[in-house]
Amino acid sequence: MIRSPFIVRILSTSAIAAAAFAGSVPAAIAAEFPTRPITLVVPFAAGGPTDIVARSLGASMSKDLGQTIVVENRLGAGGTIAAGSVAKAAPDGYTLLIHHNGMATAPALYPDLAYKPLNDFEYIGQVADVPMTLLGSKNFPPNTTAELVAYVTKNGEKVNLANAGPGAVSQLCGALFEQATKTKLIAIPYQGTAPALNALLGSQVDLLCDQTTTTLPHIAAKSVKLYGVTTPARIKSLPDAPTLQEGGLKGFDMKVWHGVYAPKGTPKEVTARITRALQAALKDPEVIARMDKLGVEIVPVDKQTPAGLQTWLQSESDKWQPLLKSIAAQ
Ligand code: MLT
């Protein structure tokens, strides 16, 4: 049967409206997916690490899907506003969320969280892992991790630590640093690490823990001080940089991971199509080259799947939620 695009559009719109009411999208509509642009919601500021990964991924997925992916930054509350809004969006595949470790940590940080990360989403797949770097402003006195530890131990209550709010990985990294050094610094929250990094570059704050996605050029230009990387081993993109463990912070181990989600109830045919586009993008030589330049590691194909993301989110939730609750109780 040949359908005019106009009829398809009318059919799709009315059927999706009815399906949203019924909580599902009919198989025929799912098979045509996508027939219009898709919104990919980013929970942090434009120009930051999550945004950069999302835009690169979205541009490549658009080629595979034959429809534009529009990146929308929905800011606030450490990423929970964005995740909460996507949890409540129509389950039709046209609103997606890209998010990081915050999906696993938010329930421990927000007692009244309006969504359940493990129950309120369909999983598309994991995307990439990113190491973090602990940075100081160029005017901040300590030059090494050992000097930093001594400095914050003495002056902690005067030291500013920028982050993107509770639920942000910059905040989590800062909390692990405070725990490791037994200090309490002054947290300065921003709506993403793009503005936080600007504040560090302008010496308005002293410290920031942020992803290599945005920090590598500033480290290379020496416009910030690099204390160390947050992973247990040194990283390819900064081979000469010590780890924080080498600097004396025993057991310091943190990396950022990104996944893509759809609202709960999005039909399997639709999520499977989006997963296929995600996997195609992560094989795209342009995406691979860009991610490599930013120190972002694309995950293996078995993780670029709904099951790969679901298993990972569960294990990260099990790992971080008790730890964060115990840090909060200290
Ligand atoms: C961002 O994209 O701004 C960061 O991922 C925020 C954060 O630190 O979690």
For the segment 21-53, what is each residue's pLDDT rounded down to a tens digit?
444 556 666 779 999 999 999 999 999 999 999
Ligand 1: nearest atom to the Cα of 194: 3
| pLDDT confidence bin for 13, thresholds 50/70/90 | very low
Which protein residue has the closest C-alpha to ligand 1 atom 2?
A: 50
Ligand 1: nearest atom to the Cα of 196: 3
- Tell me which residues have their CB closer than 6 angstroms to ligand 1: 44-45, 48-51, 100, 164, 168-170, 192-194
Count of C-beta atoms within a 10 Å radius of residue 276: 16
CA of 299 to the centre of ligand 1 (A): 19
Ligand 1: nearest atom to the Cα of 209: 8
Q: Give pLDDT, residue 6.
A: 32
CA of 130 to the centre of ligand 1 (A): 11
Q: Is the per-residue pLDDT at 110 higher than 60?
A: yes
Q: Are 211 and 193 in contact (CB under 8 A)?
A: yes
Eight-state DSSP code of residue 300:
P
Q: Is the per-residue pLDDT at 93 higher than 80?
A: yes
SS3 call for 243: strand
Which protein residue has the closest C-alpha to ligand 1 atom 7?
A: 168
Q: Are 200 and 224 in contact (CB under 8 A)?
A: yes
Longest CA span, the chain: 76
Radius of gyration for the chain, computed over Cα atoms and rounded to the nearest angstrom? 21
227 burial type by CB count under 10 A (0-12 exposed, 13-18 middle, 19+ buried): buried
Using alpha carbons, list the distances in angstroms from residue 42 to 54, 56, 244. 7, 12, 29
| pLDDT confidence bin for 325, thresholds 50/70/90 | confident
| pLDDT confidence bin for 214, thresholds 50/70/90 | very high
**pTM for the predicted model, two decimal places:** 0.90
pLDDT digits 0-9 by tens, 231-256: 999 999 999 999 999 999 999 999 99
Q: Give pLDDT, residue 28.
A: 66
Ligand 1: nearest atom to the Cα of 193: 3
Work out the average pLDDT over 283-287: 98
Pocket test for ligand 1, best of 40, 41, 42, 50 (most atoms within 8 A of CB): 50
Count of C-beta atoms within a 10 Å radius of residue 182: 11
Which protein residue has the closest C-alpha to ligand 1 atom 3?
A: 192
Using alpha carbons, list the distances in angstroms from residue 308 to 258, 259, 301. 12, 10, 9
Q: Are 81 and 110 in contact (CB under 8 A)?
A: no
Ligand 1: nearest atom to the Cα of 45: 3
38, β-bridge pairs: 69
Ligand 1: nearest atom to the Cα of 210: 8
Which protein residue has the closest C-alpha to ligand 1 atom 5?
A: 50
> How many CA atoms lie within 13 Å of 108's alpha carbon, on the beta-carbon side?
22
309, β-bridge pairs: none
Q: Is the per-residue pLDDT at 3 higher than 90?
A: no
CA of 228 to the centre of ligand 1 (A): 18
Q: Give pLDDT, residue 327.
A: 75
223: left (phi over 0), alpha (psi -120 to 50) or beta: alpha
**Which of 7-11, 42-46, 89-93, 106-110 shows the lowest per-residue confidence on average (mean pLDDT)?**
7-11
